[in-house]
């Protein structure tokens, strides 16, 4: 029996593939390579010493997906395939809803057709909107102000409704905070197309000389140094959370819906991240403080106690580890997978 990973060639997909293989799982990857590179899979094979089956397909293509299920004995799905830029989603809401929501509906239709009723969905802390207090707990109100966030929230609702209609489904909604870092080998890491949307790859590209300087959006927030505070989590910790969720389902005889935060439970400011990266890399990180960005919230970090209680998962890596592993990846691969 194998685990099907949609979006398996992506940043989180590749790291999760490594951890699943290391934990004895057989995997099959599906990716349309719209935001990933096939060479990343070769790197995973190099790390694990295993050959990996990869299918070039879009999850909206029912025939292609059905063929994968017909030709393989699939036990469950980890669903990473989705577009993930807030700004891009504002410019192209139809594309985001089509890919992220219609794609998930099609995936679930095919899963149901082949009686595969185990799915782990990569959700996001964006579903909490602007929380009134921190740390953020899973029972907090949810709201979001952009199509990307809406697509995550709506997919969560769809999966909850599927469970209500059929209690045989085992569903995990894993709400990620801010994934950063890279595998310790330096062979796989985050390789965004064009200018990065996220903070850590932007910092690392400044450090390697690919970008001239970093822009810090606001230094007048109510935090220790005035910059925004976020819960950064090492991508390997995140990947291991998916393994723990699968292990949990293996021990359960009944269906279930798990809604869990995956974060460290600690907040780090933007300036703390910059200074820690400078320390571990030995590189200067030129930055300029500019006006706040509309919609940014001051502080966001997780309560991760429920994941520890239910699936025995807890983050291991600290901020220095995250920066060190990011720098190892970026310095070895200045242009990512290009």
State the catalytic residues.
148
Structure tokens at 24: 């004895």
Under a CB-based contact definition with an 8 Å cutoff, are residues 78 and 23 in contact? no
Instruction: Determine the Cα–Cα distance for residues 38 and 33; give it in Å rounded to an integer.
Output: 7
Structure tokens at 323: 């920066």
Instruction: Determine the Cα–Cα distance for residues 159 and 259; give it in Å rounded to an integer.
Output: 11
3-state secondary structure of 5: strand
Structure tokens at 19: 């951890």
Instruction: Determine the Cα–Cα distance for residues 178 and 77; give it in Å rounded to an integer.
Output: 22
Task: Give the angle subtended at the CA of 319 by the CAs of 318 and 324, to the nearest 5°.
Answer: 105
Under a CB-based contact definition with an 8 Å cutoff, are residues 269 and 229 in contact? yes
Instruction: Determine the Cα–Cα distance for residues 154 and 144; give it in Å rounded to an integer.
Output: 10
Q: Rg of the Cα trace of the chain?
A: 19
250 Cβ contact partners less than 8 Å away, ≥ 6 residues apart: none
Instruction: Determine the Cα–Cα distance for residues 213 and 184; give it in Å rounded to an integer.
Output: 26
CA-closest candidate to residue 62, choices 30, 19, 22, 26: 30
């Amino acid at each position: 029996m194998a685990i099907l990973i949609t979006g398996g060639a992506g940043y989180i997909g590749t790291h999760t593939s490594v951890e699943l293989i290391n934990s004895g799982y057989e995997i099959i990857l599906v990716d349309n390579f719209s935001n990933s590179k096939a060479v990343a899979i070769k790197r995973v094979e190099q790390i694990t010493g295993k050959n990996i089956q990869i299918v070039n397909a879009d999850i909206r293509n029912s025939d292609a997906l059905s063929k994968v299920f017909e030709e393989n004995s699939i036990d469950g799905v980890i669903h990473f395939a989705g577009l993930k830029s807030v700004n891009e989603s504002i410019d192209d809401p139809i594309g985001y809803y089509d890919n992220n929501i219609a794609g998930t509906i099609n995936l679930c239709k095919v899963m149901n057709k082949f009686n595969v009723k185990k799915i782990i969905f990569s959700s996001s802390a964006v579903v909490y909107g602007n929380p009134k207090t921190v740390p953020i707990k899973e029972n907090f109100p949810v709201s979001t102000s952009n199509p990307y966030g809406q697509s995550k929230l709506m997919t969560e609702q769809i999966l909850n409704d599927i469970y209500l209609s059929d209690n045989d489904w085992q569903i995990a909604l894993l709400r990620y905070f801010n994934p950063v870092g890279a595998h310790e080998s330096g062979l796989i890491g985050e390789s965004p197309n064009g200018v990065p949307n996220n903070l850590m790859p932007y910092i690392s590209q400044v450090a390697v000389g690919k970008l001239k300087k970093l822009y810090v959006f606001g230094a007048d927030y109510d935090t220790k140094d005035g910059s925004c505070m976020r819960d950064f989590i090492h991508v390997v910790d995140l990947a291991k959370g998916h393994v723990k969720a699968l292990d949990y389902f293996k021990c359960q005889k009944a269906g279930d819906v798990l809604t869990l935060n995956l974060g460290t439970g600690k907040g780090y400011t933007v300036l703390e991240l910059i200074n820690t990266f400078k320390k571990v890399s030995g590189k200067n990180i030129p930055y300029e403080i500019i006006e706040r960005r509309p919609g940014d919230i001051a502080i966001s970090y997780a309560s991760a106690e429920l994941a520890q209680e239910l699936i025995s998962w807890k983050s291991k890596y600290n901020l220095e580890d995250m920066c060190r592993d990011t720098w190892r990846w970026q310095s070895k691969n200045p242009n990512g997978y290009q």
